[in-house]
């Protein structure tokens, strides 16, 4: 097995282990507890996105720089992490101080720690992938997942607190262990060089906006359900939320291993590798989506009845989300053109449209006092995923006229135009 194949395989194994954790939560926690866990998880994911393009831009540059330039990017990143971490801990402390339920204060503090750890984990994983250190990434990923799962033996003692602790433990252990592998650089000095910060921002801030839009939509859904229907209702959506989070991990892994080669080929004006790598990425994603669709159609209901008796009715929310999510995932290879060429207009527009639709529907329902049910919320999320994917493909069709190397559909790789 190639190192890239092993990276994806290990990532898939970790995802399956986390799926087992989610199943355990569904078996042990009450709906209200599941709702609180889902809300906290959404807050952690949103906090982990508040890097203002540093992770995206830094990763884009790490794909093709070496030596001192690489160290300067790392120094800039950790300088920013210190400021972001202080802000997250301050926000978590403020929430903990005003929490009405005694058990919610430590959960708020864990959420703040989880946001910081998620930032660090994402940065370190990106750095290892960009540097080709996939073996180290596999090792640390497996160790961090094992540590998170090991905490679950304490679940009977304090179910909600331990569940949140397990979610936080994975990125936290990853960030603590990764430096010992020698596969990531640590800062040598702190500072914000203006020219470098401007380059990173140019490459990463637009992508940050798109990622923020995705997490905003997620948090908006969870907040609406909590406010209008209650935590117990949000708990009923946990199976669908678990499906979304786990489904997206594999496409993200596959994209991570293909993007550096595409960036390097484009920088060297070689069209054939761009076509080859993009087609390979699409083949991976198409096979994965087909397998997922087959599993949902044939295995989901009997497996849910076997493993999670009484949760079969919640599968309807998964089925409402899945088609749009699959369409969005299949648009990923088309959307690479925006990231590689650093022309993000269509990408920002696609994700902004999804956010506008989300706000318009949820805000309109609230303003008109027309309460949406769980099925409507799940259907809305699926529709916004699909709409975003369609706009991304349209943007690819337009922009690839200027960059013909990215017109990888229906042509031989050896006949590709220069990038």
At 411 the pLDDT is: 54
pLDDT tens-digit series, residues 160-175: 999 999 999 999 999 9
Q: What distance in Å separates the CA atoms of residue 72 and residue 194, rounded to the nearest whole number? A: 12
At 51 the pLDDT is: 76
Q: Is 157 exposed, middle or buried (0-12, 13-18, 19+ CB in 10 A)?
A: exposed
Provide CB contacts within 8 A for 311, sequence distance 6+. Answer: 26, 239, 304
Q: What are phi and psi of 167, to 5 degrees?
A: -65, -40
The closest alpha carbon to 244, from 18, 5, 61, 6, belongs to 18
Count of Cβ atoms closer than 10 Å to residue 297 Cβ:
11
Torsion of CA 279, 285, 288, 293, to 10 degrees: -120
Torsion of CA 383, 387, 389, 390, to 10 degrees: 140
Show the low-confidence residues of the chain (pLDDT under 70): 1-4, 410-419
At 245 the pLDDT is: 81
Q: What distance in Å separates the CA atoms of residue 412 and residue 396, rounded to the nearest whole number? A: 18
At 416 the pLDDT is: 47
Give me the residue label for tokens 């908006």.
220
Torsion of CA 378, 383, 385, 391, to 10 degrees: -170
Q: What distance in Å separates the CA atoms of residue 359 and residue 364, rounded to the nearest whole number? A: 8
Q: Which two tokens stand for residue 303?
A: 């497996």
């Amino acid at each position: 097995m190639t190192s890239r194949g092993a990276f994806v395989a290990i990532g898939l194994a970790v995802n399956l282990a986390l799926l087992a954790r989610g199943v355990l939560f569904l078996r042990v926690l009450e709906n209200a507890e599941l709702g609180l866990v889902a809300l906290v998880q959404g807050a952690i994911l949103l906090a982990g996105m508040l890097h203002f393009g540093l992770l995206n831009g830094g990763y884009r540059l790490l794909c093709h720089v070496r030596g001192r330039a690489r160290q300067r990017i790392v120094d800039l990143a950790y300088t920013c992490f210190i400021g972001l971490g202080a802000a997250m801990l301050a926000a978590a402390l403020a929430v903990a101080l005003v929490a009405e339920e005694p058990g919610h204060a430590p959960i708020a503090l864990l959420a703040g720690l989880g946001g910081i750890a998620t930032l660090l984990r994402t940065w370190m994983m990106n750095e290892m992938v960009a540097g080709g250190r996939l073996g180290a990434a596999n090792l640390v990923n497996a160790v961090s997942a094992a540590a998170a799962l090991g905490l679950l033996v304490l679940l009977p003692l304090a179910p909600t607190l331990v569940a949140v602790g397990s979610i936080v433990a994975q990125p936290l252990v990853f960030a603590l262990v990764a430096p010992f592998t020698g596969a990531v650089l640590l800062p040598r000095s702190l500072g914000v060089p203006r020219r470098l910060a401007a380059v990173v921002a140019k490459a990463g801030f637009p992508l940050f906006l798109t990622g923020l839009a995705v997490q905003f939509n997620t948090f908006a859904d969870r907040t609406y359900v909590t406010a209008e229907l209650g935590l117990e209702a949000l708990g009923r959506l946990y199976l669908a939320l678990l499906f979304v989070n786990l489904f997206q991990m594999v496409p993200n892994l596959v994209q991570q291993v293909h993007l550096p080669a595409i960036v390097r080929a484009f920088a060297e004006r070689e069209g054939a590798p761009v076509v080859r790598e993009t087609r390979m990425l699409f083949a991976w994603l198409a096979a994965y989506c087909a397998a997922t669709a087959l599993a949902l159609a044939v295995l989901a209901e009997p497996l849910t009845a076997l493993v999670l008796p009484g949760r079969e009715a919640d599968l309807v929310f998964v089925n409402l989300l899945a088609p749009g999510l699959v369409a969005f995932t299949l648009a990923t290879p088309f959307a690479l053109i925006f990231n590689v060429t650093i022309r993000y207009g269509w990408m920002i527009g696609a994700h902004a449209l999804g956010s506008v639709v989300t706000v318009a529907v949820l805000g309109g329902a609230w303003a008109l006092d027309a309460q949406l049910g769980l099925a409507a919320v799940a259907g809305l999320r699926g529709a916004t995923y699909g709409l975003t994917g369609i706009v991304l493909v349209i943007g690819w069709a337009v922009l690839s006229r200027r960059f013909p190397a990215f017109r990888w559909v229906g042509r031989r790789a050896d006949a590709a135009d220069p990038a």
